[in-house]
């Protein structure tokens, strides 16, 4: 019995192989981290030759950069209230996705400092936009605190698997955090109770 499936072109074969390699690399970087992931291990998981991995991607660093590419967030603009809601929606998106690329990036940036450059650049750009939209004198601090809160929540869910954060729905987490993010974005602050004594 003959096989009537159309033969794949070389370009299609290459694309399929690249996708298999990227999927294997995403999984290994996410589970093992940067240092313990090897080209040979990626090749074995992708059922490809290590030389092919090197030919397609050039180096482990270049392969990691492809796996951990940071998708740009939506531009941040508007009133402080609107900015808070944009940031909460972005957080919900990141919480809902399985995000193996993000997990690979988070795990590896903690153990391999160079891999965090792209992430820091993306976060810094968003924080500049947030600070520009806030009307307080300490807008840079407030933007940084919202960024730190977001990174902490994502680390707690995707990497540390902290009880509660790991199992809650994205909508529930965002609902609990909404008053805090709005308070930070809108410039409200609680007085220090120690000053009353």
Quick: pLDDT tens for 98-148: 566 666 667 766 766 666 676 677 778 888 989 999 988 999 999 999 989
Judgement on whether residues 172 and 86 belong to the same structural domain of the protein:
yes
Judgement on whether residues 55 and 146 belong to the same structural domain of the protein:
no
Judgement on whether residues 95 and 126 belong to the same structural domain of the protein:
yes
* Confidence band for 47, pLDDT divided at 50, 70 and 90: very high
CB 2 within 8 A of CB 24: no
Residue 145: predicted pLDDT: 94
Judgement on whether residues 111 and 167 belong to the same structural domain of the protein:
yes
Kindly report the CATH number assigned to the domain that includes residue 60: 1.10.10.60
Range of the domain at 16: 10-67
Judgement on whether residues 44 and 91 belong to the same structural domain of the protein:
no
Judgement on whether residues 54 and 133 belong to the same structural domain of the protein:
no
More confident residue, 106 or 173: 173
DSSP assignment of 107-143, as one string? HHHHH-GGGGHHHHHHHHHHHHHHHHH--STTHHHHH
* Confidence band for 64, pLDDT divided at 50, 70 and 90: confident
Residue 193 maps to a domain: no
Which are the contacts of 139, defined by CB distance < 8 A and separation ≥ 6? 130, 131, 132
Judgement on whether residues 45 and 85 belong to the same structural domain of the protein:
no
Judgement on whether residues 158 and 182 belong to the same structural domain of the protein:
yes
Judgement on whether residues 92 and 21 belong to the same structural domain of the protein:
no
Residue 76: predicted pLDDT: 80
Residue 157: predicted pLDDT: 86
Judgement on whether residues 41 and 96 belong to the same structural domain of the protein:
no
| Residue entry with tokens 């298999």 | 20
Residue 119: predicted pLDDT: 66
Rounded CA-CA distance 156/45 in Å is: 28
Determine the longest span between alpha carbons in the chain, in angstroms.
90
Residue 158 maps to a domain: yes
Residue 140: predicted pLDDT: 94
CB 157 within 8 A of CB 93: no
Rounded CA-CA distance 176/4 in Å is: 56
Residue 194 maps to a domain: no
SS3 of residue 43 by DSSP: helix
For the chain, what is the domain count?
Answer: 2
Residue 66's Cβ-count burial label (10 Å; 0-12, 13-18, 19+) is: middle
């Amino acid at each position: 019995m003959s096989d009537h499936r159309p033969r794949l072109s070389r370009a299609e074969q290459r694309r399929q192989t690249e996708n298999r390699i990227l999927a294997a690399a995403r999984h290994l970087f996410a589970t093992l981290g940067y240092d313990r992931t090897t080209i040979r291990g990626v090749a074995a998981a992708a059922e490809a030759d290590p030389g092919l991995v090197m030919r397609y991607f050039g180096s482990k660093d270049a392969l990691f950069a492809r796996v951990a590419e940071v998708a740009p967030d939506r531009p941040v603009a508007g009133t402080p209230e609107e900015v808070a809601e944009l940031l909460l929606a972005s957080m919900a998106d990141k919480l809902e996705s399985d995000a193996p690329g993000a997990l690979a990036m988070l795990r590896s940036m903690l153990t391999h400092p160079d891999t965090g450059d792209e992430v820091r650049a993306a976060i810094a750009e968003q924080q500049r936009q947030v600070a520009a939209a806030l009307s307080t004198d300490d807008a840079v601090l407030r933007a940084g605190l919202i960024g730190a809160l977001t990174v902490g929540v994502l680390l707690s869910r995707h990497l540390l698997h902290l009880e509660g954060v790991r199992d809650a729905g994205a909508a529930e987490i965002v609902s609990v955090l909404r008053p805090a993010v709005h308070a930070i974005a809108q410039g409200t602050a609680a007085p220090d109770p120690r000053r009353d004594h």
